[in-house]
Amino acid sequence: MSEDLSGRRIAHYRIDGVLGRGGMSVTYKATDVRLGRKVALKVIGEHLAPDAEFRERFVDEARNTSAIDHANIVPLYDFDEVDGLLYIAMRLVDGQDLSGHIKSGPLTPARTLTLLAQVAEALDMLHGKGLVHLDVKPANVLVTTKEGSREHVYVADFGLTRRGATGHRTRTGDFLGSPTYAAPEHLRGEPVDGRTDQYALACMLFACLSGRPPFQGGVQEVIQGHLGQAVPALSQLVALPPAIDEVIRKGTAKDPSQRFASCAELINAARVALAGAAQGSAPAQLGPASGSIPVQSPVSGPMAVQQGPYQGGYQQPPLADPVRLRPPNQVGVSAFTSSKKERPAWFAPVIAAAAAIVVIIIVVIILSPKDEPARQPKTNSSPTLQLGDESTSKKPLPTSVPVRTSR
């Protein structure tokens, strides 16, 4: 990973300390010396700076974030490159990310609805602009109490955000990201839209009310869960009304067309379903139901240890590199993909070479010299012989010669 830049200066930003580390970047607490304000400075890892693909993703994140103006989305202040280091300067959120809150156990229904309603509002606004976040998870939801009397939420990390795209793939065909909250169509590389983020939000609703994500275990176990298994019944894990199970089931439907019309509609349905639950206390855990997946740590791993007094919400899993997953085998034929069998990679070059050989042979035949046809002898009535043209006009030889005998 890149060296610690604490104490150094990038452009007009003085780096004061590390907020969080990820596989692709390090987020620092920094001071804008020109304006005298604190910022969160996200710097791409030096080992990835020469990689054109990661540079493109980093630039996309800056452009996507700067184009969005919403109270629940982290404001972007600046973006630039200095001495080969790419950085994004954002608002420093004084608080903790949602994964840190869930780590200590289930949240109360009232708090869950308050926090996720703000996330839903931000996502629906994003979807209205034709954008899809594609990395909705508790670690990217920052919670602060500095904005007013209630907890205020900021949605962060727009590194995978795309407009009218398919599930994110690297140029080598790998899925890039964490599968813990990823929708099936995202994992398969199929077309995505706002319903893809809604699936992740429904998984977050499950996590807030239970203290754990819906599918756990190894990476492949989690992927197969999202692709082909129903989300466990929440009411069998914690003491909540069974009506919430239907809400989460619809929000996590494998077919996007079976989900809610918007993220706000999902949260409103959850509010109705939880109306009979004790809103001010966390639901009691009932333990794993028979046959359910045991409670384990999420795939993304434990939260990064923060340095210094700051307990902010820019923590990322301490992974050496982002999770890269080969696309799993698709179940059936997608409605968005072609069923035609692809030709092997060598097919086109071989056909081109054969065509070139045929063209060369045709050119050689056309340009090669031809023998002139033999001329027909002239049929003159005059038995004259023209000198110098023996090949075309010769006096016919007599067929018989009279013989004179001597006496």
Residue 36: its pLDDT value, please?
94
Tell whether 72 and 107 lie within a shared domain.
no
Residue 67: its pLDDT value, please?
75
CA distances in angstroms from 3 to 21, 88, 168, 219, listed in the order given = 11, 18, 28, 29
Per-residue pLDDT tens, the chain, 407 aa: give them: 457 889 999 999 999 999 888 767 789 999 999 999 999 998 886 666 667 777 777 777 777 777 788 999 988 899 888 888 889 899 998 888 999 999 989 999 999 999 999 999 999 999 998 888 888 999 999 999 766 668 999 998 876 666 555 445 555 555 656 789 999 999 998 899 999 999 999 999 999 999 999 999 999 999 999 999 999 999 999 999 999 999 999 999 999 999 999 999 999 999 999 997 766 667 777 754 433 333 333 443 333 323 333 344 554 443 333 444 444 333 333 333 333 444 556 677 778 888 889 888 888 888 776 655 555 555 544 444 444 444 444 455 455 555 554 44
- Write the CB contacts of 114 (distance below 8 Å, at least 6 apart in sequence): 150, 151
Tell whether 18 and 159 lie within a shared domain.
no
Domain-located, residue 331: no
For the domain that residue 13 is a member of, what is the CATH number?
A: 3.30.200.20
Tell whether 206 and 127 lie within a shared domain.
yes
Domain stop point among 36, 71, 91: 91
Tell whether 169 and 246 lie within a shared domain.
yes
Tell whether 75 and 105 lie within a shared domain.
no
Q: Which backbone phi and psi does 85 adopt, to 5 degrees?
A: -105, 120
- 56 vs 136: CA distance, rounded Å: 20
Residue 383: its pLDDT value, please?
47
84: exposed, middle or buried (Cβ count in 10 Å: 0-12, 13-18, 19+): exposed
Residue tagged active-site, from 135, 157, 197, 245: 135
Domain-located, residue 375: no
394 marked as binding residue: no
- 285 vs 304: CA distance, rounded Å: 26
Domain-located, residue 51: yes
Residue 407: its pLDDT value, please?
45
Tell whether 85 and 107 lie within a shared domain.
no
Please give the DSSP secondary-structure letter assigned to residue 337. Answer: S
Tell whether 42 and 102 lie within a shared domain.
no
Please give the DSSP secondary-structure letter assigned to residue 298. Answer: -
Domain-located, residue 239: yes
Amino acid at 48: L
Residue linked to tokens 């993703």 = 57
Q: 181, 142, 185, 177: which is closest to 161 by C-alpha?
A: 177
Domain stop point among 310, 338, 371: 310
For the domain that residue 174 is a member of, what is the CATH number?
A: 1.10.510.10
- Structural domains counted in the chain: 2
Tell whether 78 and 101 lie within a shared domain.
no
Count of C-beta atoms within a 10 Å radius of residue 275: 11
Residue 66 contacts residue 76 (beta carbons within 8 Å): yes
E strand segments, 98-187 = 131-132, 141-144, 152-155, 162-163, 175-176
Domain-located, residue 161: yes
Domain-located, residue 389: no
Tell whether 86 and 108 lie within a shared domain.
no
Residues recorded for the chain: 407
pTM of the model: 0.68
- Give the torsion through C-alpha atoms of 61, 66, 68, 73, to 10 deg: 70
Tell whether 169 and 304 lie within a shared domain.
yes
- 367 vs 146: CA distance, rounded Å: 86
Tell whether 234 and 211 lie within a shared domain.
yes
- Write the CB contacts of 333 (distance below 8 Å, at least 6 apart in sequence): 339
Residue linked to tokens 């205020």 = 152
Structural domain for 47, as ranges? 9-91
Decide if 245 is catalytic: no
Domain stop point among 91, 108, 129: 91
Residue 152 contacts residue 143 (beta carbons within 8 Å): yes
Tell whether 179 and 131 lie within a shared domain.
yes
Domain-located, residue 118: yes
Q: Would you state the structure tokens that stand for residue 266, as one six-digit string?
A: 């999902």
Domain-located, residue 211: yes
Residue 178: its pLDDT value, please?
76
